Structure 1
Amino acid sequence: MRIALLGGTGDIGQGLALRWAYDTNHEVLIGSREPEKARNKAEEYETELDSRGVDCEIKGFENGMAADRADVVVVAVPPYHVSDTVEAVADRLDDDTILVSPAVGMKGDEDGMHYHRPGAGSVTAVAAGAAPDEVPVVGAFHNLAADRLANLDVELDVDTLVVGDDDGAKETVTMLAEAIEGIRALDAGPVANAAEVESVTPLLINIARHNDGMHDVGVEFK
């Protein structure tokens, strides 16, 4: 399967790119508004993987070109860029493409981080509203610590919650998530439930901030 990470030069994009390239045989594409930046990052990821004995090719493209080539498109950009990014590549998406949103809206103050719920109800809903009607949208990977994900020396033992209105799309994203060693994907229902999932992320950041040794805290449901 071919996976495009739009904004794949950022933290969560880097972590997912490295883990999928390290743990699976799926083809990984890095997207960016600046194609040269995407190519440079792709080379950086290849170098990291080569140092660990993994021979793979990661390609970098402008976001639209990456989306055009992919079966699954992960919109790994900050929440305030999700709508614009999806709209910019909308003509490259079709009903065979699955769009994945891991972004979370947050605001910080002296007390900590707080969930910033957009008018659409969730960032996943924002992505769904910007995508063509025939393109299934799935929310996933919201609550993963990006630094831990990108550190291939660290073993994962975390859950990710998956939301979406298309069962087949959710099954595909669940398969991709669980192809990363140490991640378990749990079905959290339709897109209407995305706000509850996304709001866990600022809670985890606050826990990490106020407790020693929990910088990369994650969630495991038992």
Structure 2
Amino acid sequence: MRIALCGGTGDIGAGLALRFARDTDHEVLIGSRDPERARTKADEYGAELSNRGVETTIKGFENAMAADRADVVVLAVPPYHIRDTVESIADRLDPSTTLVSPAVGMERDEAGLHYNRPSAGSVTAMVAETAPDDVPVVGAFHSLSAGKLADLERDLEEDTLLVGDDEDALDVVRQLAGEIEGLRALSVGPLANAPEVESLTPLLINLATHTDLHDVGVRFE
């Protein structure tokens, strides 16, 4: 399987790229609006893994070219770039491509971070609105700490919650997430449940801010 991380040069993209490349046998492609930056970051990720004794090839492309080659496309971009990114790759997607959204809309005030629900109802719903009608969309990886993902010295013992309307696409993402060591994927139903899942992220960040906990995640028992 080929996994494209559009926006894979950013924090969450870096963490997912390193974990996918280390823990799975899938091919990892780094996407960016700037193909040169994508190639540079891909080389950096490959070098870090090589230093850890993991031999893998990570390639970098412009976002649309990365998406064109992929079975799973992860939109590792901030919510305010979601529509533009999906529109830029839309003609490279087809019904066999699973589109994954980990983005969460948040706003900050003096009290902390709060969920900023977009007019579509959730960022995941906004992705589904923008993507071609026949391309399945899954929300996943929202509550994972980018810093913890990218630090391969740290073990994951966390859950990621999945939402989506296409059972086959959910199965693909569930299997893929479960291949990351220490990560368990749990489905919480259709895409309409995305607001509840996305709103967990600002809660976790506020928890980390006001306690001695850092890079917190969730594990359900």
TM-score by length of 1: 0.99
**Match of residue 219 from structure 1:** 218
Distance 2:177 2:108 in 1: 29
Distance 1:158 1:9 in 2: 23
Distance 1:171 1:150 in 2: 25
Q: Spell out, residue by residue over 1:57-113, the C-alpha distance to the aligned partner (whole angstroms, 9 max, x if none).
A: 000000000000000000000001111100110000001100000000000111100
Q: Spell out, residue by residue over 1:24-77, the C-alpha distance to the aligned partner (whole angstroms, 9 max, x if none).
A: 110000000000000000000000000000111000000000000000000000
Q: Spell out, residue by residue over 1:127-147, the C-alpha distance to the aligned partner (whole angstroms, 9 max, x if none).
A: 001100010000000000110
Q: Which amino acid aligns with 2:172?
A: T
**Match of residue 123 from structure 2:** 123
Distance 2:60 2:18 in 1: 14
Q: Residue 43 of structure 1 aligns to a residue in which SS?
A: helix
**Match of residue 18 from structure 1:** 18
**Match of residue 55 from structure 2:** 55
**Match of residue 33 from structure 2:** 33
Q: Which amino acid aligns with 2:112?
A: G
Q: Residue 18 of structure 2 aligns to a residue in which SS?
A: helix
**Match of residue 69 from structure 2:** 69
**Match of residue 174 from structure 2:** 174
**Match of residue 207 from structure 2:** 207
Q: Which amino acid aligns with 2:204?
A: L
Q: Aligned residue pairs: how many? A: 221
Using the aligned pairs only, state the percent identity.
69
**Match of residue 8 from structure 1:** 8
Q: Residue 208 of structure 2 aligns to a residue in which SS?
A: helix
Distance 1:32 1:189 in 2: 31
Q: Residue 219 of structure 2 aligns to a residue in which SS?
A: coil
Displacement of 1:215: 1.4
Distance 1:156 1:74 in 2: 20
Q: Spell out, residue by residue over 1:148-184, the C-alpha distance to the aligned partner (whole angstroms, 9 max, x if none).
A: 0110000000000000000000000000000000000
**Match of residue 149 from structure 1:** 149
Distance 1:55 1:31 in 2: 20
Distance 2:74 2:27 in 1: 13
Q: Which amino acid aligns with 1:217?
A: V
**How do 1:154-169 residues align onto structure 2 when only pairs under 5 Å count?**
154-169=154-169
1:113 maps to 2:113: yes
Structure 1 ranges of 4+ moved more than 6 A: none
TM-score by length of 2: 0.99
Cα RMSD over matched residues? 0.4
Q: Spell out, residue by residue over 1:175-203, the C-alpha distance to the aligned partner (whole angstroms, 9 max, x if none).
A: 00000000000001011000000000000
Distance 1:164 1:55 in 2: 34
Distance 1:56 1:2 in 2: 13
**Match of residue 188 from structure 2:** 188
Distance 1:146 1:204 in 2: 13
